[in-house]
Amino acid sequence: MQKTITGFSKLSKSEKIDWIVNSYFRNNNSAKTILMQYWNSDSKLQSLHDEFIENTITNYYLPLGVAPNFLINGQTYTIPMAIEESSVVAAASKAAKFWFDRGGFKAEVISTTKIGQVHFTYDGHTKELISFFNSIKSKFFKDTSSITKSMEKRGGGILDIELRDKTSDLTNYYQLHATFETMDAMGANFINSCLEQFATTLKTEAKAFLTGNIHIIMSILSNYVPDCLVRAEVSCKVEDLTENPDIAPQAFADKFIQAVNIAEIEPYRAVTHNKGIMNGIDAVVLATGNDFRAVEAGVHAYASRNGTYSSLTHAEVNDGVFKFWMEIPLALGTVGGLTSLHPLVKLALEMIGNPSAKELMQIVAVAGLAQNFAALRSLTTTGIQEGHMKMHLMNILNQFEATPEEKETLISHFKTNTVTHSSVVDAINNLRANK
């Protein structure tokens, strides 16, 4: 099997596909047909997609669904969600409707500060470096003025720059630790450009003032944003937790809170608990053209900020009122990147009112809280599999290429029967055998 090639990036898309299907697939005609059937028939739109990344060969589709009836700070939203996992959109929609009738979700942005760092070593005296930094600090702002000009007009820019001594952790290691406000942009390119200029200024000025040697290691933003926080919560009287007739409201509240408490102290549970939150968050982040990998990394780091991985959500009953809430770091943007390029991203943002970055932070956090509420409600009442497997039923039927008539019969059958993979397979086989 051919595994290496020189000059692959210089091939046309068709040539790339020909090389791939001839090198890796037994039925190369079938493989090529599958790859090409996902091309967009609009050549202009396909060209746009081709230029998002390198070496594109086709498009990889995810379903884009919507979760209606979200009441957030008194305003109703239908939230777009791009995700492949069964039951996520349904669960979010169900949670939204439950809380719509109980006052909806409240959300607020606590802070929006983002971080970037220049990592470097210095082999001289620390006191000399501190004195040098203090004397040239204003020059970092001056030398980046051309970069920050537009951002400052929008109310953002560089907030502060600190020199941090990390030599107790790593020999000769220091940082320029900078804080930024990037307004409606996620701001990665802006922050990184500023940091690289900081590094240039640091090296240039050091030659004239320092006796030791500075070596720049790297200049890069951080995706850990513990000061870019949003809070989302829901609350109602315990007596209003009345959706499930099989469990009394107080019993439901007690069991729900106990489930959250377990996730607060047990990392094995907390990881799955928080993954459920991210089902909602990632789906909206992806639908709105933001970087879900950065969000994931920052969120999970935040969940470990106290030394142990723990739940991001919390719950309590106080004076007869049930409250469920979360504070979470989210660095999001509504301008730049795919937000202005991808047609579906534009539609998704328009669907939620073309929000500012702060408004999007609130919507995304609420989607995560709703998803977690839905999961915990199922776990502590009917069990997670009942609803999830019924939503997964269609995937199993499609896996076995069920006909429309077979789907209709089997969907009806499993309205009153437990869905498992084996039970669905048995039902399909029995249905076909009886024909």
Give me the active site residues, please.
Answer: 85, 275, 291, 388
Report the relative pairing of strands 229-237 and 321-329 from DSSP bridges. antiparallel
Sequence-separated (6 or more) residues with CB below 8 Å from residue 31: 20, 21, 24, 25
| b (16+ CB within 10 A) / e for 43-64 | eeebeebbeeeeeebbeeeeeb
By CB atoms closer than 10 A (0-12, 13-18, 19+), residue 333 is buried
Q: Are 64 and 286 in contact (CB under 8 A)?
A: no
Tokens of 264: 């607060």
| Strand residues in 224-345 grouped as ranges (E) | 229-237, 313-318, 321-329
Q: Rounded to 5 degrees, what angle do the CA atoms 228, 232, 237 make?
A: 160
Tokens of 34: 């599958």
CA distance 63 to 50: 19
Phi (first) and psi of residue 57, to 5 degrees? -125, -25
Rg (CA), the chain: 26
Helix (H, G, I), strand (E, B) or coil at 334: coil
Q: Which residues pair with 161 in a beta bridge?
A: 178
- Which of 169, 146, 174, 170 lies closest to 158 in space, CA to CA? 146
